[in-house]
Structure 1
Amino acid sequence: MTDLDRLPDLPVRAVLPDVLAALEGHGTAVLVAPPGTGKTTLVPLALDRGEGRVVVAEPRRLAARAAASRMAALLGEPVGETVGYAVRGDRKVSARTRIEVVTSGLLVRRVQHDPELPGVSAVLLDECHERHLDADLLLALLLDVRAGLREDLRLLATSATVAAGRLAELLGDAPVVTAQARTYPVSLSYRAPARGQRIEAAVAATVRLALSEGDGDVLAFLPGAGEISRTAALLDSLDADVLPLHGRLSTARQDEALRPRSRRRVVLATAVAESSLTVPGVRAVVDCGLARVPRVDHRRGLAGLATVRVSAAVAEQRAGRAGREAPGRAYRCWPEHEQATLPAYPEPEIRTAELARFALELACWSTPDGSGLAWWDPPGEGALAAARSLLVTLGATMSDGAVTPRGRRMADLGLHPRLARALLDGAAAVGARAAAEVVALLDAGAKLTDVEAELRRLRSAHDDAAHRWQRDARRLAGLVKTPGGAEAVDAALVVALAYPERLAHKRSGSAPVYLMAGGTAAELPDGSGLDDAEWLAIAEATRDPGRAQGTIRLAASADEALAVRAAPALLSEVDEVRWDGDVVARHVRRLGAIVLSERPLRNPDPALVHDAVVAGLRAEGLGLVRWSQDTTRLRERMAFLHRVLGPPWPAVDDDTLLSEVDSWLDLSRVRRRSDLANLDAGASLRGLLPWPEAARLDDLAPDRLAVPSGSRHRVDYRGEQPVLAVKLQETFGWTRTPALADGRVPVLLHLLSPAGRPAAVTADLESFWRNGYAAVRADLRGRYPKHPWPEDPATATPTRHTSRRSR
């Protein structure tokens, strides 16, 4: 047991009795405490009551190691004694370890192997507000464990934000304990980048300003390792130690960034320093306002990282880092008016990330769709369906979602299912070491586009990235056993085993654009060294907003034989009949969307030909068929009767005619566009007329109407109401507006001047003669004196001629 009196006097210490009492009485609790108040270090030590091991789950490896080191230092011990840690590829524990800090993903694996968690008395879920995918999954699994197996397992969830209501609800209406932070005032200022200025340049300039305006160290937030490297280069001449801090650094370099120095420090960090870590000595924070988060384009099958604006909660946490030990300053690299437009909280990864690994864990838990588990936010149905489909393709699950023995083996490797498949099958094909080197590269990312070139660079380099890659490759090679044989490095094959749908063939033309088997096009960047490759096995591709095709970031040169070997499930041979202006019939051999070979079909299946013609009509429209003026008017009259009378008068709009094309068009002899143009739509359309009602077509919707002058004028049925355009003098003596469809719809009369221009529009002729005619007569009889303008049109003789000719 830990002597609590030896613990430092941090704000959380004051609420430790409340936390312990809540867990004792309820079994679960939520602790709300800002970063730097001691929740990650003091609480686990207080939970060590000698009843079993305390496990602390951290969202990041860097945070897990840092937390263990800090707790061990408080006890005056090295890491691995009372306090230890375990992260992927690195573990420091002993038989004496009572408090173990692990990553959320690693604890998920332990729960999968033994849900009862023997020997564990309490689990602390740290930084729940960050909403990492593994953390959300772990919370759901532990709640299930506690409900069915370990009612005595104590669960404590911690959060740096006060929005803990939903979290407490999930934990069974758990008590919420709040620790008040002892903070100092932080002054805020906004320094938006100049027009066209890159964010690295803006951050570097603001760092210099922060150093000049006060004392202490500076903590600057940037979205990723690339931006950190470029910003560090811009600060090369600075009279201070510029230190990067991100998850891809070695443990020694991460520790170096967290250790105070005699000279002032500028720590350039990713989101890892928002809440999981304490960086002592910081008096100024420079926030670029951006973060890198997982995103996936399900339609194109491209997953990766996207740079997004931070939330208001994250911006507040970042700024708060400046006021931990003394009054501080926070500089935000965006316009002040944009602050109000920031989202309130970060978007949970479970809503945005690719879910294949998550779905494999659910399958291992025997709940492929996640039903029955208590979720903070449930996974999206579309993303989960895509992930489950991929698992079937990789052989990790059956079609019903049940996990296979191979799937359990893949899950045990602790890799994304794609990489697990590449390691297992790649080891059998090219040897464990060769497969492990490629998989380690795919897992960590690369500087170069060419996988082979990047492998050569890493083998000869001596930087942190190379050392980490070599260590990971050795670890992965030890996880798989191969039956022997020579080690033949075939990077493209291993890449293709991980991403079979990203096998790509070069399109014709000068630009290095490739079509992937999944149907997405992607282009090689300049200087990739792969422009001459006819085939590529693509490991990583991104799509920039506004661009139709992706950009290839990492790939290996391949060939057709390798593609067929790596992705036999994507191979198909079919008789393909489609519309391409005319019917095109061919026998096609494909790898997904890529055509490997084709030959013409002499006698294609008539049913396939018919379907292709119908598809052509639906794609290009009914304009492919011949429509005479009379046919068009017939269609308009039929549409009018359907709209007014309904059945049995049929609908004849484009959507209906195209969806029921076989009911009125004979396509049995159509093979070409010219065949469609020769079809008489009128004869076909008349076949849709209902009998015996069709005999009344001219009565209900006549093509022409007789007017008092004796003329017959066409009715326009194109609008909502039928229109009859007629010269005003021809309607003399007409006292009632004619109506169609058995008197249901009055005709809208466009009464024309002698020059054929509209003089009046009315659907109530009687009212017009009584109220409107006098004004029209006064306006027009001076302009058209040769035409009759009687005072009483109801009794006048209708005419289409001038007054003299009428006499």
Structure 2
Amino acid sequence: MNLPDLPVRAVLGELTTALREHGAAVLVAPPGTGKTTLVPLALAEEAAGRVVVAEPRRLAARAAAARMASLLGEPVGETVGYSVRGDRKVSARTKIEVVTSGLLVRRLQNEPELPGVSTVLLDECHERHLDADLLLALLLDVRAGLRDDLRLLATSATVASEKLSRLLAAPVVTAHARTFPVDVDYVPPTRGERIEATVARAIHTALSEVDGDVLAFLPGVGEIGRVSSMLDDVDVVPLHGRLPASRQDAALRPGSRQRVVLATSVAESSLTVPGVRAVVDSGLARVPRVDHKRGLPGLATVKVSAAVAEQRAGRAGREAAGRAFRCWARHEQVSLPAYPEPEIRTAELSRLALELACWSTPDGSGLSWWDPPPEGPLAAGRELLNTLEAVEGGQITGRGRKMAALGLHPRLARALLDGAAEVGPRSAAEVVAVLDNGGQLTDVEAELRRLRSAKDERWRAEVRRLARLVPDAPEAPDPALVVALAYPERLARRREKGSPVYLMAGGTAAELPSGSGLGDVEWLAVAEATRAPGRAHGVIRLAARADAELALRAAPNLVSETDEVAWSDGDVVARSVRKLGAIVLSERPLRTPSPALLEQTFIAALRQEGLRILPWTEDAERLRERLAFLHRVLGPPWPDVSDEALLASPRDWLPELATARRRADLEQIHLAPALRRLLPWPAASRLDELAPERIEVPSGSRIRVDYGSDEPVLAVKLQETFGWLETPRVAGVPVVLHLLSPAGRPAAVTSDLRSFWQNGYASVRAELRGRYPKHPWPDDPLTAVATKRTKRSSP
């Protein structure tokens, strides 16, 4: 075979030797070295069976097959063929079949031994797509248990291959690219400039300075459209996954004059766009992300990694010296992450969970992973499969196998299967095709009318493909029902009349954008909702008109009738509520609520509003202060009676909550006896000894001790303490004496009586005896008789 002189040819011998001796190998080869086309052709020459090449994208699979077939001078479908979703060109003569990773996963599920296949080449492993990571794990499992003769070759455009090499227990073969030099310029946005304007500006510069085509990388279809509108007098060619195959293929053929190819990440590595001499990189990519807490999956726009930026720039040097224009500041380059985040760490994982259930390892623990799926998102995926009745008790059901065989996300598979039975296969397929690819309009029905009138052939082809996957049935179009079957927890009801905000059955609030055409509807079947950071609720992007009857029909398993007891406006409210998920359908007063629910409600009310809702008498407050003092001074076993401690275990001291029915019942609780329930035994018998409520002073009065401060305080008239030599103590702590004037005002404060009599009394006596002449002010207070009366007048 006369192969082109590309860099990978230099290592073909080393590569085939590694595969022969180890059964596996890792090939590191930058874009443009021929790893996607020359390696499969070389392997097919000496392989006994078919060589299967797994590509992450349909566009790359078809392009790789076409390139290899052209090298052989044959049409696609002879020696080289391809199989992608909805399109297959193979024959009995086919020795090399290029497939998408997801399709090969399905083939493995049906025929784990891969009969007739000798070698599987996993291309572009560095991109870390979810299907590719799963495929690698399944193939390793097949080699370990079923096909030890199956050869695996993993290729990567980056040098981060050590972990992949260990996983495969295989050597690394490296091919070095013979690329042309690429000069890199940085074109950061000006102040307030949108990225589309920056990219358009850089494109104009490239067109004026470079003789050749310009390849510009943008995050999505919307940005491609906006940049395209800013370019005049040049051929603009879009390249993205939503285009029909014919238009994708056209972008991969050289043009008759200078072109600008506006591409998403599909053009980063496994495709060669001919004629490119300049690359304009927005520095952005759109990747799967999901808000697991709110259940709103979608795409996020993120900065590319340094490895991706390098690959994009390298596209300018495939055929000659080139230029790369990066639309960010030079100093930002060092802050880029080294490599892309693996999709398995960020994506919604219900489809992965379905495949794992089909493989009889629901949690994936029996497989060898490059990066294992995170437990939380995988558990969420399994929970969804339970809801969709695809699994039961962790095991795949017959229904689940039918859903998996469709090759769709489990939600869409459910919508197609059940929807076809309800509304007919074509009507269900039309809606599922919209849900799978997104729409331009918010209203699903309006989007369907637009697609039909526009005669969108790509959408029509997908509808025909999907309709063939399910049994025939009479047609009775009902778009909202199909949407609700896919997303039952997104059935939504308007919160209040005139409001654009809806509450979804899953508990998330989402708002209709203005101009949606759906503003007069009480119920919606929501297909897509997103939530930007910092927003209180989501925004509805795609939905269909629904009603309560449809909601109950589509999601009967979400309907519940429960008794709810809650604390509202200072009292208990008990009601029997019928709900669809979080949406209240109807409610009525509940006359005999469960005592357990009532107790939970009172406990919640205490924690919400605090202990102030209890009837704290003066006696209860003083007892609590005494207990707090002992806990502070002596510690356990004297109880902690702080708010936090009492609220942490209210059942320990408030058994009355178990019998209370309304706020008025709380007013009948005697809190002093309640607090005494916390007293330790036998230490409780020493409460009055250690922290007496009152202390007897020399006058015979029994004065109350105030334990409400950091130290115990005894406020007593000075004349009642004459003859008292030592400061009283409680639990070993000196009492702080507030010595009062005859009018009850503080005259002195001391915790050392002996020192006060010696050093402070004289000045207090001098100040007060003229003001209160009828009261005794002896020279020697230590020998005077304590009294609470005034001095008798002389006869």
Same fold by TM-score greater than 0.5: yes
Counterpart of 1:650?
639
User: Which AA in structure 2 matches 1:282?
Assistant: V
User: Which AA in structure 1 matches 2:484?
Assistant: A
Contact 1:734 / 1:794 at 8 angstroms: preserved in 2? no
- Aligned pairs for 1:662-741 within 5 A: 662-665=651-654, 666-668=656-658, 670-673=660-663, 675-676=665-666, 679-701=669-691, 722=711, 741=731
Distance 2:115 2:635 in 1: 72
Counterpart of 1:344?
338
Counterpart of 2:501?
513
CA shift for structure 1 position 551: 0.6
User: Which AA in structure 1 matches 2:545?
Assistant: S
Task: Name the % identity.
Answer: 69
Match of 1:289 among 259, 283, 307: 283
Contact 2:52 / 2:117 at 8 angstroms: preserved in 1? yes
Distance 1:750 1:121 in 2: 97
2:237 counterpart of 1:249:
no
Provide, for residues 42-62 of structure 1, a one-character-per-residue CA deviation record: whole Å limited to 9, x for no partner: 111111124110000011111
Provide, for residues 80-126 of structure 1, a one-character-per-residue CA deviation record: whole Å limited to 9, x for no partner: 11111110001111111101110000000011101100110100101
Provide, for residues 715-739 of structure 1, a one-character-per-residue CA deviation record: whole Å limited to 9, x for no partner: 66676xx587999x99999999998
Counterpart of 2:397?
404
Distance 1:758 1:801 in 2: 8
Counterpart of 1:215?
211
Match of 1:123 among 120, 134, 141: 120
2:363 counterpart of 1:373:
no
Distance 1:113 1:163 in 2: 33
User: Which AA in structure 1 matches 2:676?
Assistant: R
Counterpart of 2:253?
259
Q: Which moved more, 1:603-612 or 1:296-305?
A: 603-612
2:592 counterpart of 1:603:
yes
CA shift for structure 1 position 675: 4.4
Residue aligned with 2:339, SS: coil
Residue aligned with 2:352, SS: helix
User: Which AA in structure 1 matches 2:674?
Assistant: S
User: Which AA in structure 2 matches 1:796?
Assistant: N
2:295 counterpart of 1:328:
no
Q: Which moved more, 1:126-135 or 1:571-580?
A: 571-580
User: Which AA in structure 1 matches 2:608?
Assistant: A
Contact 2:738 / 2:746 at 8 angstroms: preserved in 1? no
Counterpart of 1:167?
164
Match of 1:479 among 452, 469, 474: 469
Instruction: Summarize the Cα distance change of 1:602–1:182 in structure 2 as closer, same or farther, 3 Å threshold.
Output: same
CA shift for structure 1 position 712: 7.8
Distance 1:143 1:69 in 2: 29
2:650 counterpart of 1:661:
yes
- Aligned pairs for 1:168-183 within 5 A: 168-172=165-169, 174-183=170-179
Counterpart of 2:529?
541
User: Which AA in structure 1 matches 2:516?
Assistant: S
User: Which AA in structure 2 matches 1:167?
Assistant: L
2:458 counterpart of 1:468:
yes
User: Which AA in structure 1 matches 2:203?
Assistant: V
Contact 2:714 / 2:735 at 8 angstroms: preserved in 1? no
Instruction: Summarize the Cα distance change of 1:405–1:636 in structure 2 as closer, same or farther, 3 Å threshold.
Output: same
Distance 1:169 1:473 in 2: 43
Instruction: Summarize the Cα distance change of 1:261–1:758 in structure 2 as closer, same or farther, 3 Å threshold.
Output: farther
CA shift for structure 1 position 335: 2.6
Q: Which moved more, 1:27-36 or 1:105-114?
A: 27-36
Distance 2:12 2:223 in 1: 40
Contact 1:625 / 1:680 at 8 angstroms: preserved in 2? no
CA shift for structure 1 position 250: 0.8
Distance 1:757 1:415 in 2: 87
Distance 2:638 2:254 in 1: 86
Provide, for residues 660-706 of structure 1, a one-character-per-residue CA deviation record: whole Å limited to 9, x for no partner: 21222222554444543564534422332224322333544567899
CA shift for structure 1 position 498: 0.7
Distance 2:648 2:470 in 1: 55
Residue aligned with 1:796, SS: helix
Counterpart of 2:772?
none
Contact 1:521 / 1:549 at 8 angstroms: preserved in 2? yes
2:59 counterpart of 1:65:
no
Counterpart of 2:183?
187
Distance 1:469 1:55 in 2: 29
Residue aligned with 1:801, SS: helix
Contact 1:31 / 1:179 at 8 angstroms: preserved in 2? yes
Counterpart of 1:270?
264
Contact 1:733 / 1:793 at 8 angstroms: preserved in 2? no
Counterpart of 1:99?
96
Distance 1:756 1:47 in 2: 102
Distance 1:279 1:741 in 2: 88
Instruction: Summarize the Cα distance change of 1:576–1:275 in structure 2 as closer, same or farther, 3 Å threshold.
Output: same
Distance 1:203 1:191 in 2: 9
Instruction: Summarize the Cα distance change of 1:680–1:261 in structure 2 as closer, same or farther, 3 Å threshold.
Output: same
Provide, for residues 378-401 of structure 1, a one-character-per-residue CA deviation record: whole Å limited to 9, x for no partner: 111111111111111111111x21
Match of 1:82 among 79, 83, 97: 79
Counterpart of 2:759?
796
CA shift for structure 1 position 609: 2.2
Contact 1:625 / 1:678 at 8 angstroms: preserved in 2? no
Counterpart of 2:789?
none
Contact 1:732 / 1:795 at 8 angstroms: preserved in 2? no
Distance 1:313 1:750 in 2: 77
Instruction: Summarize the Cα distance change of 1:190–1:679 in structure 2 as closer, same or farther, 3 Å threshold.
Output: farther
Instruction: Summarize the Cα distance change of 1:668–1:122 in structure 2 as closer, same or farther, 3 Å threshold.
Output: closer
Residue aligned with 2:588, SS: strand
Match of 1:421 among 414, 419, 425: 414
Provide, for residues 448-475 of structure 1, a one-character-per-residue CA deviation record: whole Å limited to 9, x for no partner: 111111111111113xxx2111101111
CA shift for structure 1 position 553: 0.6
Distance 1:718 1:129 in 2: 67
2:21 counterpart of 1:28:
no
2:510 counterpart of 1:522:
yes
Instruction: Summarize the Cα distance change of 1:735–1:114 in structure 2 as closer, same or farther, 3 Å threshold.
Output: farther
Residue aligned with 2:764, SS: coil
- Aligned pairs for 1:9-28 within 5 A: 9-28=5-24
Counterpart of 2:614?
625
Match of 2:491 among 500, 503, 517: 503
RMSD: 3.2
User: Which AA in structure 1 matches 2:434?
Assistant: L
CA shift for structure 1 position 276: 2.1
Contact 1:246 / 1:254 at 8 angstroms: preserved in 2? yes
Instruction: Summarize the Cα distance change of 1:732–1:262 in structure 2 as closer, same or farther, 3 Å threshold.
Output: farther
Contact 2:614 / 2:667 at 8 angstroms: preserved in 1? yes
Q: Which moved more, 1:794-803 or 1:430-439?
A: 794-803
Instruction: Summarize the Cα distance change of 1:459–1:693 in structure 2 as closer, same or farther, 3 Å threshold.
Output: same
Residue aligned with 1:140, SS: helix
Match of 1:531 among 506, 519, 531: 519
Contact 2:49 / 2:118 at 8 angstroms: preserved in 1? yes
Distance 2:504 2:738 in 1: 60
Distance 1:625 1:656 in 2: 16
Instruction: Summarize the Cα distance change of 1:71–1:644 in structure 2 as closer, same or farther, 3 Å threshold.
Output: farther
Instruction: Summarize the Cα distance change of 1:80–1:634 in structure 2 as closer, same or farther, 3 Å threshold.
Output: same
Instruction: Summarize the Cα distance change of 1:275–1:724 in structure 2 as closer, same or farther, 3 Å threshold.
Output: farther
Contact 1:702 / 1:715 at 8 angstroms: preserved in 2? no
Instruction: Summarize the Cα distance change of 1:347–1:653 in structure 2 as closer, same or farther, 3 Å threshold.
Output: farther
Q: Alignment length, in residue pairs?
A: 760
2:37 counterpart of 1:41:
yes
Contact 2:595 / 2:659 at 8 angstroms: preserved in 1? no
Residue aligned with 2:535, SS: coil
Contact 1:708 / 1:798 at 8 angstroms: preserved in 2? no
Q: Which moved more, 1:128-137 or 1:510-519?
A: 510-519
- Aligned pairs for 1:136-175 within 5 A: 136-172=133-169, 174-175=170-171
Q: Which moved more, 1:242-251 or 1:261-270?
A: 261-270
Distance 1:711 1:335 in 2: 82
